[in-house]
Amino acid sequence: MRFLLVLSLPCLLAAADPAALLTNPSTKAAFAAIQHNEPEMIAEQIRVCEIAAPPFHEQQRGLEFKHLFEQLHLTDVHIDQAGNVIGTRPGASPHPNIVLAAHLDTVFPEGTNVKVTRDGSILKGPGIGDDCRGLAVMLGMIRALNEAQVKTPGTITFVADVGEEGLGDLRGMKQLFGDHKGQIDDFISVDGLGTGITNIGVGSYRYKVTFTGPGGHSYGAFGMANPIQAMGRAIAKIDAFEVPAQPKTTFNVGRVGGGTSVNAIPFEAWMEVDMRSADIKSLEALHAKFKTALNESVAEENARWNNKGPVSVSPELVGLRPAGKTPESSPIVQTAIAVSKSLSLPVQLGEGSTDSNVPMNLGIPAITIGGGGAGSGAHSLNETYDTAGSYKGTQRALLLLLSLTR
């Protein structure tokens, strides 16, 4: 993995003072529109969340967002090769071009009941917070900008993207930044709840590792190398890895399988492995250890049985999320902090694995922010979202956007 540094001159210009922007009549009008429209935006949050968007099958929700973007008078609305829905709100100048994104996909497989229920201020349903809230915030911002007739000096590109969750492997962001290299000055993802600011991107390698051999009868073919036993050796070696606590670096064997019967030497076994770190060097060092462990485990299993019916190993990379960081001292992070303070909201910097990983790894200023409100049970069927004061999340996102487009 290489760390590519991309600089564009507009990003070097200081952002506007958020506190000063709060006194601007157009900002006040946009804030009022957000608060007034929030009940409708909550209804929209529920509606879009009831359009299923399982991994790799976000098309139906994507088509709805294309329609919504067109209704909100964005320009050049289109769906790219990966399935991202993109629309532009032109400013006086094409730069700075700020991308604001929220992801369409959920972690839930096809066939999941995505009906949302409501009890007072509490919404309950799969994906209602992650990331149906981010999608609602994006729609609420566009509507408020239009109703307040806000004219921005820079351009805003809105993206409802695919592939953020699980084995989606950030394919939407990889497509976006591949297609628009050098055209994006700052990037904001609205993902999940609360008012946190994620400026560190946790990278990951994910593998499905398959061990194979000829297989045979457990008694008649005894003495043949065993794929499951080779995998066991590999798991033991992985378990013995020493990794740094700071920067936090982790590994996990999450799933295993294989074999046909208790009295058969298996012809195949497999495991799925996840390795993570926000530090590129630490992640690469762990990755190298992992590959060595696989090769050693096979060699040891084959040597144990004198290469009678040898086993082999085939690691398949099923997920690669690049690590990255936007420094706390950067203008985008400092602006996000100033925005939160100006609205008397708590300031909390953190790390995570989000759409922002891709631009961070490219050296493009990027952060992920929560969409406001509170909730519980993310990535579960019992996910909840509390709408009390939810409009404040949209107001914060809008003020950040207006500050960066100056």
Question: What is the pLDDT tens value at each position of the chain, 406 positions in all?
Answer: 322 333 333 333 345 789 999 999 999 999 999 999 999 999 999 999 999 999 999 999 999 999 999 999 999 999 999 999 999 999 999 999 999 999 999 999 999 999 999 999 999 999 999 999 999 999 999 999 999 999 999 999 999 999 999 899 999 999 999 999 899 999 999 999 999 999 999 999 999 999 999 999 999 999 999 999 999 999 999 999 999 999 999 999 999 999 999 999 999 999 999 999 999 999 999 999 999 999 999 999 999 998 778 999 999 999 999 999 999 999 999 999 999 999 999 999 999 999 999 999 999 999 999 999 999 999 999 999 999 999 999 999 999 999 999 8
Strand bridging mode 203-212 / 268-277 = antiparallel
> Residue type for 10, please?
P
Does 216 lie in the same domain as 292? yes
**pLDDT reported for residue 327:** 97
Same-domain check for residues 243 and 280:
yes
- CATH of residue 377's domain is 3.40.630.10
Burial of 208 (0-12, 13-18, 19+ CB in 10 A): middle
238 belongs to a structural domain: yes
For the chain, percent helix, then strand, then coil, each to nearest 5?
35, 25, 40
Residue 4 lies in a domain: no
In a domain, 1, yes or no: no
Q: Count other Cβ atoms within 10 Å, centred on residue 385.
A: 33
3 state DSSP class of 190: strand
In a domain, 3, yes or no: no
The CA distances from residue 254 to 54, 223, 228, 269, 282, in Å, are 21, 29, 16, 14, 21
Largest Cα–Cα distance in the chain? 85
Six token digits for residue 5:
């540094």
Are 197 and 228 in the same domain?
Answer: no
**Among the three residues 253, 286, 321, which one is the final residue of a domain in this structure?**
321
- What six digits make up the tokens of 321? 């999320």
- Give yes or no: residues 197 and 207 share one domain: no
Whether residue 343 is contained in a domain is answered as yes
Domain range holding 400? 9-202+323-404
Residue 54 sits in the same domain as residue 176: yes
| Residue of 112, 141, 157, 124 lying closest to 46 (CA atoms) | 124
Nearest to 235 by CA among 271, 274, 288: 271
Q: Which one, of 286, 274, 300, lies nearest residue 209 by Cα? A: 274
Domain check: are 305 and 343 in the same one?
Answer: no
For residues 151 and 253, membership in a common domain is answered with: no
Match 């040898």 to its residue by tokens. Answer: 310
pTM, two decimals, is 0.90
C-alpha 328/C-alpha 128 separation (Å) is 30
Pick the last residue of a domain from 321, 339, 367.
Answer: 321
What residues have CB less than 8 Å from 389, skipping those under 6 apart?
372, 373
**What's 294's domain CATH number?**
3.30.70.360
Rounded Cα distance, 197 and 325, in Å: 12
Q: Are residues 110 and 252 in the same domain?
A: no
Are residues 287 and 252 located together in one domain of the fold? yes
Q: Residue 34 carries which side chain, given as an amino acid letter?
A: I
- How distant, in Å, are the alpha carbons of 281, 284, 314 from that of 291? 16, 11, 11
Burial label, 180 (beta-carbon count in 10 A; 0-12, 13-18, 19+): middle
pLDDT value of position 1: 31
Question: CA 228, CA 270: separation in Å to the nearest integer?
Answer: 8
Q: Is residue 189 part of a domain?
A: yes
Report pLDDT for 308.
Answer: 78
Give yes or no: residues 18 and 147 share one domain: yes
Q: Which of 276, 301, 321 is the last residue of a domain?
A: 321
168 with 239, same domain: the answer is no
Q: What is the pLDDT, as a whole number, of residue 15?
A: 57
Separation of first and last alpha carbons in the chain: 34
Residues 170 and 191 in one domain: yes
Alpha helix stretches (DSSP H) within 268-390: 280-304, 331-342, 357-362
In the chain, the amino acid numbered 45 is: Q
Asked whether residue 344 is assigned to any structural domain, the reply reads: yes
- Cα dist from 116 to 54, 124, 128, 357, 393, whole Å: 16, 5, 8, 30, 21
CA distance 121 to 404: 32
Q: Is residue 238 a contact partner of residue 302, using CB atoms and an 8 Å limit?
A: no
Question: Which position has the token pair 């629309």?
Answer: 87
Residue 174 maps to a domain: yes
What total of structural domains would you count in the chain?
2
Q: Parallel, antiparallel, or unpaired for β 186-190 and 366-369?
A: parallel
pLDDT at residue 2 in the model: 28
